[in-house]
Amino acid sequence: MSGIDDLPPLREVIATHGLAARKSLGQNFLLDLNLTAKIARQAGDLSQTDVLEIGPGPGGLTRGLLASGARKVLAIEKDSRCIPALAEIAAAYPDRLEIIEGDALEIDPLRHLTPPIRVAANLPYNVGTELLVRWLTPERWPPYWQSLTLMFQREVADRIVAQPGSKAYGRLAVLAQWRSEARIVMSLPPGAFTPPPKVSSAVVHLTALPKPRFDADAGILSRVVAAAFNQRRKMLRAALKGLAPDIEDRLIAAGLKPTDRAEQIPLEGFCALARQFDT
């Protein structure tokens, strides 16, 4: 017999393995297994799927993912103290959990996983945005992942799903919505975590679209959007003048007004502008 119920409660795991949370690693743990099971369910049907989990910590979400039937989970964790705790989970789910001790920014998950692949994680806040941007900006599309189910600080989640004209609209909204469908599927108060962070959190579910909503080169679009939102509230022609001396002509060719501000430009406009830089 094996399964989630054979393993000790997470508070006990933390005490046994001395896993006092470290702020430098962005450690805010989820210890309620009902909650981690609920987050795992947001990732969709995992029965025929490999799952990449970044930052499993003591393994609450890992247990949820395995219990909900994931074919295999690859868990990448930087904190060596967590590895023995995760090994206990691996023993309860033979051949279904692979643990890698290391930095998720430096490991190629494709060497360990077989498609179809979904990603699920309660991300460390210090690398969460960087990982998301990497998942969203590969040159080739569709990407290796079918969906991303990710916990972020509420403010970051709001930026991912933001619409033009709103304060939260910026680089993350454009990159996320260009080639995926992004929704906030759960909101969590600080008290859901141990220790509680200062701010609320939310789970965002992103599904990769079969093809981008509008044509554009990923690298060019990334650069255009980064420059456009780097100087918020500036007119586009001023914010983007470093990209090309004739930026005003390119903006007009893309159907944009050089006096517009980035906050007002819909996704389609940024893609049209990126196409003006195609060689």
Which residues here bind ligand SAM, judged by CB under 6 A? 25-30, 54-57, 60-61, 76-79, 82, 103-105, 122, 124, 127
We find the least distance from the C-beta atom of residue 244 to ligand SAM, in angstroms, to be 36
Residue 24 CB, shortest distance to ligand SAM, in Å, is: 9
**DSSP 8-state class, residue 202:** E
Nearer to ligand SAM (CB atom), residue 101 or residue 263: 101
3-class SS at 75? strand
CB of 112 to ligand SAM, least distance (A): 14
- The CB-of-104 to ligand SAM minimum distance in angstroms stands at 4
- Give the residue at shortest CB distance from ligand SAM: 55
Peptide bond into 195 cis (omega under 30): yes
For residue 258, what are its two tokens?
Answer: 């050089």
**In contact, 250 and 276? CB cutoff 8 Å:** yes
Which residue lies nearer to ligand SAM by CB, 104 or 225?
A: 104
d(CA 237, CA 224) in angstroms, rounded, equals: 12
How many whole angstroms separate alpha carbon 136 and alpha carbon 133?
Answer: 5
Select 204 or 274, whichever has its Cβ closest to ligand SAM. 204
Question: Hey, what are 270's tokens?
Answer: 């940024």
Least Å distance, CB 105 to ligand SAM, is 6
Cis (ω within 30 of 0) for the bond into 142? yes
Cα separation, 82 vs 117, whole angstroms: 24
Q: If we measure between CA atoms, which residue out of 180, 274, 190, 186 comes closest to residue 227? A: 274
Query: How far apart are CB 236 and ligand SAM at their closest, in Å?
Result: 35
50/77 with CB nearer ligand SAM: 77
**152 or 229: whose CB is closer to ligand SAM?**
152
Question: Which is nearer to ligand SAM, 40 or 218 (by Cβ)?
Answer: 40
Residue 88 parent element (H or E): helix 83-92
Smallest separation, CB 29 to ligand SAM (Å)? 4
User: Closest CB to ligand SAM among 54 and 271?
Assistant: 54
At 115, which amino acid appears?
Answer: P
- Both tokens assigned to 103: 């930095």
